[in-house]
Amino acid sequence: MSYIKRNTSLAVWAALLVVLGTGALLGLQLLDAKPASIAKVTYVTGDVKVQQPGRESWKKAVNEQALRSGDKVKTLDESRGEVAFSDGSIIRIDANSNLDIVELGRSKAGQTAQAKVWSGKVWASVNKASKKTKFELESPTAVAAVRGTVFRMTVAEDMTTKVAVYAGEVKVEPMPEFFNKQKAKQGGKAGEIEGPQQVAGPTEVSFEQWTQIVKAQMEITINPDGTYGIVNFNPIIDSQDEWVKWNQLRDEARRKRLGLKDEASQQQ
């Protein structure tokens, strides 16, 4: 009888040690586990490079590569890249473009994605279904805040910024840091700029005050001196542009793959 009790006790202790060991192993795995990436590279053609914060070297971007806050992405001649976000949003980068991943974050309030285009062309398709997502795309002279929108941004060498909207709407504002420097060059006096072409009201506003809601088939141009203008564009003529056509084809293929409606239908 004592032999049986002794063996039973040994079996209980052995089982307990196994449970404790398994728990400790799972705990270590949880500590080592990294949270799912908010952004990653999902398409690369040609020479696309990524630079991590604090590094001088650039490394070749690869598919499924995770991106973090502070990463920089650049494309060289005849190159293009695509960055996908966990909420389903997409940014595509044309050749000879520079994009900074300024901030990526996730909290109870939702997801934050902020990027900056220093030069070149990008195409953004922002998921409408994610109401808690904060998505901003900046240039040196302007910031575009969006949700449920398809638009492109082009930044020239002189920092002239163009934002053309294909679906939804984009709130465009001047970049305060840039225009504060411009104001300092003028001796601290805020300059007067032309008002929007299609908005009723004053014909002159300071560059520190304007905010424009740019809707589908409209394009806003923000000049380095703070002046801006809004025009309508013909989507049929616009779609003949190779960069626009390429993105629209990729968007259509993506919608079919995911079983989504086109952006125009989603806005109705």
Residues 230 and 218 sit within 8 Å (Cβ to Cβ) = yes
Q: Are residues 138 and 12 in the same domain?
A: no
Q: Note whether 127 and 148 are within 8 A (CB).
A: yes
What is the model's pLDDT at position 50? 98
The string of pLDDT tens digits covering residues 219-254 is 999 998 888 899 999 999 999 999 999 999 999 998
205: how many CB neighbours lie within 10 A of its CB?
17
Stretch 109-114: mean pLDDT: 85
Which residues 6+ apart lie within 8 Å of 55 measured at CB? none
DSSP assignments along 20-53, one per residue:
HHHHHHHHHHHHHPPPPPSEEEEEEES-EEEE-T
Q: Which domain holds residue 9?
A: 1-33
Judge if 21 and 55 occupy the same domain: no
Question: Does the pTM exceed 0.85?
Answer: no
For the cut 60, the answer to whether the pLDDT of residue 175 exceeds it is yes
- From the list 141, 134, 135, the residue with the least C-alpha distance to 159 is 141
pLDDT of residue 262: 63
- Are residues 225 and 191 in contact, defined by beta-carbon separation less than 8 angstroms? yes
Q: Same domain for 46 and 24? A: no
Question: Looking at residue 221, which CATH number applies to its domain?
Answer: 2.60.120.1440
Whether residues 3 and 46 share a domain: the answer is no
Q: How many domains does the chain have?
A: 2
The pLDDT tens digits of the residues spanning 24-65 come to 444 444 344 455 789 999 999 999 999 999 999 999 999 999
Average of per-residue pLDDT across 86-91: 91
